[in-house]
Amino acid sequence: MHLLLFGPPGAGKGTQAKILSETLGIPHISTGEMLRQEMADGTPLGLKAKMYVDRGNLMPDDVMIGIVEHVLDSAPCANGMILDGFPRTVDQAAALKDMFTKRGLVINAVLVIEIPHELIVERLTNRAIIENRADDEPRSILNRLVVYDKNTAPVKHFYEGEGLLKHIAGIGTVEEVARRIMTAITQ
């Protein structure tokens, strides 16, 4: 099973992906975590990523597409995956569709976790304190939401056109949201 988790920063994609991964027995691939590891390791990609992340901007499409293509061909993803944090632009969504088509794979569902911006700011501000994440600073949070609304939200229309989009209410307990997701993918 190949699932995409989609939604604004702070919607709970990472938390829900971990639950889904354990439940379905397929790997959770977080492009954000991959980039944070690259930055922590000080790799050339990590240094390039840091410039964008510190400003709350999206990574260039070609960098993200290359990372995802590499992951898609890896052994752990042979039986499916939960992709979290990609695609973030319509061009990335089209590239991902091409990657899947070339490999004879199918995206089973795109789960969009929906949550009001006010709650996102509250969640990310708390996460910044707990996890000491530079990308969760107030100025960066607001910029990330603007970037999401402008560049990433249109990806929903791409997947609506593909008949893959499933809307998930992101408000409530972690368990409530997880139940909504499982219901959506088993219907």
Tens of pLDDT, residue by residue over 100-137, are: 999 999 999 999 999 998 898 888 888 878 887 766 77
Q: Give dist(CA 73, CA 61) in Å, integer.
A: 18
pLDDT tens digits along 5-45: 988 888 999 899 999 999 999 999 988 777 777 788 888 87
- Is the pTM for the entire model greater than 0.85? no
Token pair 């969009």 in the structure block, residue: 112
Active site residue 55: no
Class of domain 2-186: alpha beta
User: Of the listed 123, 144, 166, 180, which one is catalytic?
Assistant: 144
Give 44-81 as a DSSP string.
HHHHHHHHHHHHTPPPPHHHHHHHHHHHHTSGGGTT-E
User: Of the listed 18, 55, 97, 127, which one is catalytic?
Assistant: 127
Active site residue 179: no
